[in-house]
Amino acid sequence: MTSLTLILQVDGYEQQIQLEQSVRVNELFDFIQSIMNISSRTEDWTCFSSVQNRFMSRDEEIQGQQNDSLIIETKQQSAKIDIKQEQSPQIPLSIIIENGNSREEIEGNYDIQTSLNEIAESILIHCQLNQQQNPPFVSLMIQNQAYNDVIKRSKSLAQLQIKNYTKIEARIN
């Protein structure tokens, strides 16, 4: 599978991501919804490709070009976004995902109230493994310390005092 580096703009917030070309727009929407805690229905969202100069359909594979810019509008009211940001700041994280023989690094901004369990779930969505009847377990390591028990994984990034640009190692078992 071929990986792409894209610029993702969600409601005006920009982030560079890497993903497989086979990822569908609706899968990308689900991933964004989970990591950004957006409550609006993804069926109402739009995705515009700057390089292709067109809106993409929900069932379409990304199939973009390197450094394409995908502009995603979630139809949320800007006032709600501003209030949420004031209440919950974002923290940039780097996540290294090991899935069998493949290794991938993604970077993203996470709400500081996001739990480690929610991050693990978003990794499964990113790897397209969340739809399995018995999804695999995502083992998390932060600064060589395991975060795999229920108590630690239920805590938010703020409660764990995770700092900006922390690397999280995620191994899919």
Q: What is the pLDDT of residues 97-106, one digit of tens each?
A: 998 888 998 8
pTM of the model: 0.50
| Sheet arrangement for strand 138-142 | 102-111, 90-99, 166-172, 138-142, 145-146
Q: Are 66 and 5 in contact (CB under 8 A)?
A: yes
The predicted pLDDT at position 3 comes to: 75
- Using a pLDDT cut of 90, give the percent of the chain over it: 21
Confidence grade of residue 43 (pLDDT, cut at 50, 70, 90): confident
Q: Are 142 and 101 in contact (CB under 8 A)?
A: no
Among 2-6, 21-25, 78-82, 124-128, where is mean pLDDT lowest?
78-82
The predicted pLDDT at position 54 comes to: 85
Smallest CA-to-CA distance from 123 within 158, 71, 61, 171 is with 171
Domains 3-83 and 88-172 belong to one CATH topology: yes
- List pLDDT tens digits, range 121-157: 888 888 877 666 677 899 999 999 999 998 899 999 9
CA distance 62 to 70: 9
Structure tokens belonging to residue 115:
């739990």
CA distance 136 to 172: 6
Could you say which of 3.10.20.90, 3.30.43.10, 3.30.70.360, 3.40.50.970 is the CATH number of the domain covering 3-83? Answer: 3.10.20.90
Mean pLDDT value of segment 35-44: 82
The predicted pLDDT at position 1 comes to: 56
Confidence grade of residue 96 (pLDDT, cut at 50, 70, 90): very high
**Domain segments of the chain as ranges:** 3-83, 88-172
Among 12-21, 78-87, 108-117, where is mean pLDDT lowest?
78-87
Distances (CA, A) of 73 to 11, 14, 41, 66, 139: 5, 12, 11, 21, 32
Kindly report the number of other CB atoms within 10 A of residue 41's CB atom.
11
Of 130 and 111, the one with more pLDDT: 111
The architecture (CATH level 2) of 88-172 comes to Roll (3.10)
Kindly report the number of other CB atoms within 10 A of residue 62's CB atom.
20
Residue 40: pLDDT over 70: yes
